[in-house]
Chain A
């Protein structure tokens, strides 16, 4: 017990110096428990693989080039979907947020389509576009689009009217008000929408790859059930979790914080 306490204390002290360790520390008991249960053996290894089995599968799939290729496919699809989603969502959100007429006309339509889940589109998309990239791209764009639009509208509407008037009184033309008042003011909300949208999009992508994909991490996991390879499925889950953690905590969250710090005060 004392040894465990000493180990825990050492871990806490080291994690102050190395924040990465603080992130990894909560996973230590989870992996230890997983390893212990697998070693204890109440389930056959084919149903409940141990961490070394999953690691061995990771090494094999890397050597064979399967994991990097599928991972690249999934990330590429998400990047394309995100780019298109932002490209469509931000201008549309600015328009709906700035124009009362557009807001009146489009807001109910936006709420209607937002309620229809991305996966609910799959049957009709398969009929229209078949099993392929177009279907998956549509699903991701659709998933990313609505959080971006709705948050952009919220951001635009939260920019105080006095700031518009101040810019106008200083002689700013409409495009400068848009680029120097509205967009910076809405940027923290846009980033929040993007972060949420990408999170939903990532999950939707995996589901779409399982159903219509011929490559990607979702496909890898779903295809593994054919061979009854639980190890591959568990590996897919771990890869998904780690990758999303890196994208969200290391890229999106800092950008969101930075935009909030830089432009967040404009909305207060």
Chain B
């Protein structure tokens, strides 16, 4: 408690607390906006395929991140095909702020 009071009383402490608060707000914003990135029309089954759009061409880092959720079967410009995703993981993918849109991958796509 005394430490918190000291932190609140110093400029550096206030900056750090401000940074922490900004980070929490940012996380809340990401959490709130994630569902809007997921398009409708996903088939009603546990494992699904998705086409993920980014605002830039994906790099190795992004492919590695997507491989945590499913199999990356190809990229096309700024879009990544991700197969075999657990349905419950769609929200987690959408919470990456650099993901713009998640759509169902059409059959044969």
Contact = CB atoms under 8 A, between A and B. Distances in A.
A65 B3 contact: no
Contacts of B65: 69
B11 A65 contact: no
A250 B3 contact: no
A69 B97 CA distance: 11
B89 interface: no
Contacts of A251: 16
A108 to B, nearest CB: 37
Nearest to B58: A64
Contact of B98 (A63, A249, A254): A63
B95 to A, nearest CB: 11
Q: What secondary structure prevails in chain A residues at the interface with B?
A: helix
Interface string B50-79: 000001100101101100000000000000
Contacts of A69: 61, 65
B33 interface: no
Interface string A218-249: 00000000000000000000000000001001
A25 B74 CA distance: 49
Contacts of A250: 12-13, 15-16
Q: What secondary structure prevails in chain B residues at the interface with A?
A: helix
Contacts of A45: none
Interface residues of A, number: 15
A163 interface: no
B96 interface: yes
B34 to A, nearest CB: 14
Contacts of A65: 61-62, 96-98
25 contacts: A19-B11, A20-B11, A63-B55, A63-B56, A63-B98, A64-B59, A64-B61, A64-B62, A64-B98, A65-B61, A65-B62, A65-B96, A65-B97, A66-B59, A66-B61, A69-B61, A246-B16, A250-B12, A250-B15, A250-B16, A251-B16, A254-B6, A254-B10, A254-B12, A258-B6
Interface of B: 3, 6, 10-13, 15-16, 55-56, 59, 61-62, 64-65, 96-98
Nearest 8 A/B pairs, CB to CB: A65-B98, A250-B12, A66-B61, A64-B98, A250-B16, A65-B96, A64-B56, A65-B97
Given A63-B56, A251-B16, 4 more contacts: A63-B98, A65-B61, A69-B61, A254-B12
